[in-house]
Amino acid sequence: AQTVTQSQPEMSVQEAETVTLSCTYDTSESDYYLFWYKQPPSRQMILVIRQEAYKQQNATENRFSVNFQKAAKSFSLKISDSQLGDAAMYFCAYSAAQGGSEKLVFGKGTKLTVNP
Instruction: Give the binding range for another protein (CB under 8 A) out of 17-25, 60-68, 76-84, 104-112.
Output: 104-112
Which residue lies nearer to another protein by CB, 39 or 80?
39
- Measured CA angle at 26 (ends 64, 97), to 5 deg: 70
57 binds another protein, rule: CB under 8 A: no
- Separation CA 38–CA 81 (nearest Å): 17
Binding mask 35-54 for another protein (x = CB under 8 A): --x-----xxxxx--x----
Size of the site for another protein (CB under 8 A): 23
